[in-house]
Amino acid sequence: MNKVMSNKWIITLYVLPALLLIGVFIFVPLILTGYYGLMDWDGIGAMKFIGLENYINAIQDDKFWESALHSFLLAVFSTASLIIYLLISLILASKIKGADLLRKIYLIPMLLSSVAIAQLWIKVFNPTNGMLNSLLTAIGVDNPPSWLAEPSVVLYAIFIPILWQYAGFYILIYYAALKNIPETLVEAAKIDGATPLQIAFKIKLPLIMGVVKVTIVLAVVGSLKYFDLIYVMTGGGPNGASEVMASYMYKLAFTSNNFGYGSAIGFLLLIITLIVTFIVRKATATKEEIQY
């Protein structure tokens, strides 16, 4: 086996199918998106080369930067919510009664499709007979807001189901990392007189910091390209108040039939995501990883 795996041609043969699939389904569409961004094209008729006009227009487009701001806000809220997910995981991993049941409950949103979650929360946010406004009215709040219709609150209202949707995913990652910590380290800390809080924040947290950095990158990148639930719940409205970069790109390409401009927005979204990912990785990089 070692002789076979030391042959570079055989290794290339094994890797080639995966490389071809990645190239055809990921890199070729990316290159084509950048190319279509150089065209004046409605997606059906003949294309006309216009150079960087679409990209220049996108950079000068206030709606694009407004949607980018909304995407960055979602990234900030998603990253901040990781603290809550981490605390929940620390509690679940501390051998509390019913931890297995709670872990399964937190995973339920992951089993639902984005469309089903969107429909569920549209009912919750319904201004007349929704559960949220009924609850607020019952405790004495006069004129609760129309959550998905008022520009000042719609964006933050949509953040709630998005964060709820991915809670189980991050809790599961943190929980698995915490359970992978050798029990002998925890027992030694207890013998030395460490409190549960000291064990959690001075022993467990530093040991899983590598996993935390990965989840930060996942949360930021996932937020910047987020689309489906926002599109189903509000379509980016009202008046662009909940528009994000991906939904703005979709509208331009498939609703306004401005495929060239939509492709330019999509390519800029890719560049912004790559730059932000690089910055986040640099900001969270450390020279030494704790080994255990």
Report in angstroms the alpha-carbon separations of 2 from 17, 102, 171: 22, 46, 39
What domains does the chain contain, in order, with CATH numbers? 61-284 (1.10.3720.10)
pLDDT single digits (tens) 105-135: 888 888 888 899 999 999 999 988 889 999 9
**pLDDT tens profile 201-232:** 888 888 999 899 999 999 999 999 888 899 99
Cα–Cα separations (whole angstroms), residue 157 to 16, 150, 163: 46, 10, 11
The CB-based long-range contact list for 252-260 (8 Å cut-off, 24+ gap) reads: 253/43, 254/43, 257/42, 257/43, 257/44, 258/42, 259/36, 259/39, 259/41, 259/42, 259/43, 260/36, 260/37, 260/38, 260/39, 260/40, 260/41, 260/47, 260/50, 260/54
Q: What is the pTM of this model?
A: 0.88
Q: What is the pLDDT along the chain (292 residues), one digit of tens a residue?
A: 666 667 788 888 888 999 999 999 999 999 999 999 999 998 888 899 999 999 999 999 999 999 999 999 999 999 999 999 999 998 888 877 877 888 888 888 888 888 999 999 999 999 888 899 999 999 988 888 899 999 999 999 999 999 999 999 999 999 999 988 888 888 888 888 888 888 888 888 889 998 999 999 999 999 998 888 999 999 888 888 999 999 999 999 998 999 999 999 999 999 999 999 999 888 887 766 666 5
